[in-house]
Structure 1
Amino acid sequence: MDTKTLTDTIRYVALAIILMLAPRPAEAQDSLIKTKKQAELILPRPMLQPMKSMDLSGQVPMDTLSTADSTVKILLFADNTWKYIKDPSRAQNNTVFNEFWEHTLPNPYKVSDETLPSEIALWIVDSLGGYRCPNQTKVYSKFGYRHRRRHMGVDLPLNIGTPVYAAFDGRVRIAHRYKAYGNLVIIRHENGLETFYGHLSKIMVEEDEWVSAGSIIGLGGSTGRSTGPHLHFETRYKGYAFDPEWLIDFESGTLRHRVFVLKKKYLNASSRYVPESEQEEIDIEEGDARDKAEAARKEEEARKAAAAMQYHTIRQGDTLGALAIKYHTTVRALCQLNGIKETTLLQLGKKIRVK
């Protein structure tokens, strides 16, 4: 077996082992979860950790693997990274993408705030989804009142023509010019949130299009009511805006929560993000350190298991009996490793696992 083939084999096998060890995909939303402490009793801690923005530089797709779910694929990249790909059919029948779905008004909802629960737990990113910071930079104009006028998002400085990325997987509801927003893209996500991207110089998606986290949805600009190039970014739930900094640390590009408890009081115009208590941050960091050590141990075990595997390319005259003698094993063991029977005909050029 040549070096490249062996490397590819080890990579695929290691990935398969890691996927078996990974937590099962979570539901997009679980309204029973009200606090982080409750979530920790139900969910694996990796699902609660902060999440770094994806780095798509240099990622060249190499292959696609099927999973047990026909609507979910695994995309492998040349740099040995991978991610899930969800077929749009997985979500297109979701009522989230049908109710109040229209392309004219930024807020199509007719929902009274009195009908909203005091708290609702939202999956921001589950094990099938990704996250990309729309524009990583320091916030220079925050959520809240500005010059006696409500500012329903954050302003992120950028140069004209800078790519603007979809923060999460979703479907484009609006992609056109709208009043003070200038060129505006609104994406609705499976958890019911909507993200707004305003003042774009160019829109690069179409309405009703499905996009993945990290997709370039437009280029930065200064259209609409704008005093200079910047991205106006909003997060809304049922039409009600809340401070995006509850979700994203824009300066580091980090997603603060994979499971986010949205409190009704956050929908108040003056409710800005405030950091969690110092002790809670310490507890989270200590828990994350333990999880990282455990993940590293499992990954090392998977690497060693993959490296220990050995394959043989079938040649003229090879039989299961002869291979069993050559590799100090048994015919039964070879059959179990390869899912074959003792009567299976060996095909020339095919690879068979021997260890």
Structure 2
Amino acid sequence: MKLVLTVLVVLCSVNFYGQNRLKDIIKLPWPIEVPVDSIATNNITKSLEKITTHNIIDECWDHTTYNPYKDVDIQFPIQITFEDSTYCSPIGKHKVVTSRYGWRRGRAHQGIDIDLVTGDSVYAMFDGVVRMSRYTKGHGRTVVLRHYNNLETVYAHLSEYGVKENDTVKKGDFLGKGGVSGNARGSHLHLVVNYKGVSINPEYFFKFNNENKIRAKELWVTRRWTQPMFHNSRKQSIIKPLLTKDEALASLIKQRSIYIVKPGDTLSRISKNNNVSIAAICKVNAIRKTTVIKVGQKLFIEK
């Protein structure tokens, strides 16, 4: 009888104090293991996933507006964190970037173009929730996927949808098929990375080679990486990731150099040789694209 009572007291102690506390109270000749209820654990996991999902759809969750953040004030520098060191390639073959984030044909190109054949599968780069899956002006059939670090990835010019709005997707899930819908010149995937409506140069975050590497698990973004006018769509910008807030703040002090115009120079040639857009040269020198530059003239180059 005493043994039965002792066992009951021990079991109650396990429930009340927990296994570690019990070891401090009484030493038993055999180990005590508290069984884990797998059903309860699964329910807790699902509940946590729901909480996380609610967190990212609480702000500006809009299925019809491409940029629902127009009234949100963005403070720079922006801190972006990643759980993984790699992303899933948005296409299932070698990635060829045909046009980069930057100034193109007198307009801002706010993403990168990746070559594909109409009908090629397109995949989610990270876990997230589908905010938009519909036709948009210019982009054609578009999927906008919001991620748990507040980034959104945009997959444009699709030929078919593979997901619907409010779907929760995992990294590598099928989103649709590539194509030429919208204002597309030839079949390609137009990939955009946005933070609360502000486009960020995708190559600042990701290496678009076969390794699918993220440049760092924590990156700080300054305005330079959110303004296409400071980048050339025909040439990859020099990427120097900012890993801390201090580095980001220090980088805000712009470096300005003086370029002396040489025989045969044009704004286009100067832009290409100095890895800075024509628009940026014009802005810092208060000139227009049509301005005639002269040999010996001094131009400011700001990076």
TM-score (norm 1): 0.51
Partner of 1:276: 240
Q: CA–CA distance in 1 between the matches of 2:240 and 2:40?
A: 38
Q: Contact conserved, 1:201 with 1:220, CA < 8 A, in 2?
A: yes
2:131 aligned with 1:170? no
**2:103–2:230 CA contact under 8 A, matched in 1:** no
- Which of 195, 199, 217 aligns to 1:258? It is 217
| Aligned match of 1:103 | 63
Q: Hey, what's the Cα distance between the residues in 2 that align with 1:111 and 1:254? A: 33
Q: Counterparts of 1:184 and 1:99 in 2: how far apart (Å)?
A: 21
Deviation at 1:257, TM superposition (A): 2.2
The alpha carbon displacement at 1:66 in A equals 8.6
Q: Structure 2: which 5+ residue stretches go unaligned?
A: 1-37, 232-236, 242-303
User: Counterpart of 1:150?
Assistant: 108
Query: Does residue 1:120 correspond to 2:84, yes or no?
Result: no
Q: Would the aligned equivalents of 2:90 and 2:124 in 1 still touch at CA under 8 Å?
A: yes
Structure 2 partner of 1:232: 190
Residue 53 of structure 2 corresponds to 92
What is the CA-CA distance between 1:69 and the residue it aligns to?
8.1
Note the residue ranges of structure 1 that are not aligned, 5 or more in a row.
1-64, 74-85, 278-355
CA contact under 8 A between 1:71 and 1:90: conserved in structure 2? no
Any residues of structure 2 matched to 1:195-344 within 5 Å, and which?
195-252=153-210, 253-272=212-231, 273-276=237-240
1:263 alignment partner AA: T
> Residue 132 of structure 1 aligns to which amino acid in structure 2?
C
Cα gap change, 1:152 to 1:204, in 2 (>3 Å): same
Contact 1:155–1:233 (8 Å) recurs in 2: yes
SS of alignment partner, residue 203 of structure 2: helix
**Pair 1:71–1:271, CA change in 2 (3 A):** farther
Q: Which of residues 85, 90, 97 in structure 2 aligns to 1:134?
A: 90
The structural deviation recorded for 1:71 is 4.8
Structure of higher CA gyration radius: 2
Secondary structure of 2:194's aligned partner: strand
Residue 144 of structure 1 contacts residue 152 of structure 1 at CA under 8 Å; is this kept in 2? yes
Change (3 A) 1:133 1:67: farther
Asked if the contact 1:242/1:271 (under 8 Å) is kept, the reply is no
Is 1:125–1:131's contact at 8 Å kept on the other side of the alignment?
no
Matched AA of 1:153: G
Q: Deviations over 1:169-225 (max 9, x none)?
A: 111010011121111000111111111000011110000111111001011111111
User: SS in structure 2 opposite 1:245?
Assistant: helix
Mapped partners of 1:178, 1:236: distance in 2: 16
Q: SS of the residue aligned with 1:236?
A: strand
**Distance in 2 of aligned mates of 1:159 and 1:189:** 27
Q: 1:105 Cα shift?
A: 1.2
Q: Percent identity?
A: 33
Contact 1:88–1:210, Cα closer than 8 Å, also in 2: no
Letter in 2 for 1:141: S
Kept in 2: contact 1:163–1:219 (CA 8 A):
yes
Change (3 A) 1:71 1:266: farther
Contact conserved, 2:67 with 2:197, CA < 8 A, in 1?
yes
Matches of 1:126 and 1:111 in 2, distance apart?
31
Measured in 1, the distance between the counterparts of 2:169 and 2:114 equals: 22
Quote the offset at 1:242 in angstroms. 1.2
Contact 2:118 2:159 in 1 (8 A): yes
Contact 1:119 1:263 in 2 (8 A): yes
Q: Is structure 2 residue 120 aligned with structure 1 residue 159?
A: no
How many matched pairs? 196
Secondary structure at the aligned position of 2:53 is classed as coil
